Amino acid sequence: MILKLLASENFPLPAIQSLIDAGYDIFSVAKISPGINDRAILSLARESGRSLLTFDVDFGDLVFSHGVEPPAAILYFRLHPVILDELLTITLCALNENQPGYFAVVYREGMGLRKF
């Protein structure tokens, strides 16, 4: 089964293209619905059965503090600075380790998981 993904507007387009080239089914909010708000992004991910890739911590706040229903999974990347050459490798590792039903905080050194 191919993992279905949705990349928020802040996820770099070159990384999205690399994931497409690697065989992932991924949509980019920047391409399909630029400017939609975070709640709409979560709804889009949930309704389309996609896990969300983002650099925006606000999605975790919406789910855990405001009770917004989450998508299959959220992968929140905390990589500062963002180095495109390593982002694909880190993303692929995170996708292999993550499970549905979790908010994953992805670091260079690994990731932390919090169940929805």
Q: Give 53-85 pLDDT, tens digit per residue.
A: 999 999 999 999 999 999 999 999 999 999 998
Residue 14 structural domain: 4-115
Looking at the structure of the chain, the number of domains it has is 1
Helical segments of 1-116, H only: 13-21, 29-32, 38-47, 58-64, 84-97
Cα(78)–Cα(56) distance, rounded to whole angstroms? 9
User: Which pLDDT value is given to residue 1?
Assistant: 60
pLDDT for the residue numbered 92 = 95
**pTM as predicted:** 0.95
Q: DSSP secondary-structure letter at 63?
A: H
Q: 102-107 and 74-77: which strand pairing? A: parallel
The whole-number pLDDT of residue 98 equals: 87
State residue 57's pLDDT score: 95
At residue 100, what is the residue type? P
How far is the C-alpha of 27 from the C-alpha of 17, rounded, in Å?
10
> Which residues in the chain come in under a pLDDT of 50?
none
Strand (E) or helix (H) holding 113: strand 110-115
How does strand 110-115 pair with strand 4-7? unpaired
* 3-class SS of residue 110: strand
